[in-house]
Homo-oligomer: A and B are copies of this chain.
Amino acid sequence: MKPEALKPGDTIGILGAGQLGRMMALAAAQFGLKTHIFGPDGGEPAFQVCAAGTVAAYEDEKALAQFADAVDVVTYEFENVPAATAAFLAARRPVRPGPFALQTTQDRLVEKDFLNGAGAPTAPYAAVSDEASALEAASRLGLPAILKTRRFGYDGKGQILLRAGEDAAQAFRALGGAACILEGFVPFTKEISVVGARGLDGSFVAYDVCENEHEHHILSLTRVPARIGAQTAAAALALTRKIADALDYVGVIAVEMFLVEEGGERLVVNEIAPRVHNSGHWTLGGAQVSQFEQHVRAIAGWPLGGPRRLGRIEMRNLIGDQCEAWPAILAEPEARLTLYGKAEARKGRKMGHVTRIFPENE
């Protein structure tokens, strides 16, 4: 083990207390690691399973300093950790994945520039900073196109689809005049993702390619393996490794891609998630080592685990009142239910997921 590796009994500090932090904390516990959760809302689910918790704002430097003192490494469950928070903590403790991955993925324009620089294909795009540049971008890329805020978008929030003939300047105003990016239309037939992990020593392991379906911009179904050609699958894994290497990444990374089928299969990178990812939830029980264990291994400086899949996978999110199906799911012999410990099943809220594992060729 390297000197910077954790040892059992050490403490992982996790920024964010939602279901991703919760599942990371449970994975850390397997190895006798303690977790200390930091988040602004004490009612969040990760606080139910940690050795210690700090309820404070991400800007609270006194709380951050105490948190840093109490942990051996810092990680996070979401990419919108404020840059100042990451920098404050990185000056005191290793932050994994590092601040560069955060900076790169927090801003859609920076991310697209990075991807193209790393040789990863993206949709055509243009920066939009005012109404004039909105109109100019729409004219250059053509419509349909999607106007997205550069920062803080997720699950379809902060974006507007512009159909042919629609007004880009009006859409820019509707997004509050925030700095945006216009993304050209990609005629994709499938959405896929690769969930991989890069170790402190640069080693890389990825799960099989996931095929994702969304409803109302929220992931609803992941199938593994994706129904794509073997060469395309290999290319998706290679792209993910290239991106992880270029970020000098440590931890689990997910890369969302579009599959374009126009005389052959072609990949377009949509976005990078510098964290464990919803499309990798099936690895809990569906793979030799889960993405959460893999993330813990990576940020601990330990060897990565095996990504072997235990069957053909279907993972469905339980959104809002879909979680009320829990009694029926518990009674299904081959279903693995995970619920996140959230008190209220609000509309659009991710409450849990169910993974079904079938024999490989069924």
Q: Could you tell me which A residues sit within 8 Å of B by CB distance?
A: 1, 8-9, 22, 25-26, 29-34, 45, 47-51, 288, 297, 302-303, 305-306, 310, 323, 326-327, 330-331, 333-334, 337-343, 352
Contact = CB atoms under 8 A, between A and B. Distances in A.
9 contacts: A1-B327, A26-B26, A30-B338, A31-B326, A32-B45, A32-B342, A49-B51, A288-B334, A302-B330
A18 B65 CA distance: 32
B330 A297 contact: yes
Contacts of A45: 32
B22 A29 contact: yes
Given A8-B326, A49-B49, A31 B334 contact: no
Given A29-B26, A331-B303, A341-B29, A34 B48 contact: yes
Nearest to A45: B32
Q: Which 5 A-B pairs have the closest CB atoms?
A: A32-B339, A48-B51, A32-B341, A303-B331, A8-B339
A341 B34 contact: yes
A126 to B, nearest CB: 44
Contacts of A342: 32
Contacts of A26: 26, 29-30, 49
A9 B343 contact: yes
A303 B33 CA distance: 32
Contacts of A338: 30-31
Nearest to A51: B48
Given A29-B48, A29-B341, A305-B333, 7 more contacts: A9-B343, A26-B30, A30-B339, A32-B342, A34-B48, A48-B50, A303-B331
A33 to B, nearest CB: 8
A18 to B, nearest CB: 13
Nearest to A308: B333
Contacts of A22: 29
Nearest to A27: B26
Contacts of A49: 25-26, 29, 49-51
Contacts of A47: 51
> Which of A33, A45, A341 has its CB near the most chain B CB atoms (within 10 A)?
A341
A340 B303 CA distance: 20
A84 B116 CA distance: 70
A342 B33 CA distance: 10
A55 B306 CA distance: 39
Nearest to A339: B32
A352 to B, nearest CB: 7
Contacts of A32: 45, 339-342, 352
B334 A306 contact: yes
A31 B331 contact: no
Contacts of A339: 8, 30-32
Nearest to A340: B32
B48 A341 contact: no
A100 to B, nearest CB: 27
A51 B47 CA distance: 7
B9 A341 contact: yes
A50 B330 CA distance: 23
A260 to B, nearest CB: 36
A306 B51 CA distance: 31
A322 to B, nearest CB: 13
A215 to B, nearest CB: 22
Nearest to A290: B285
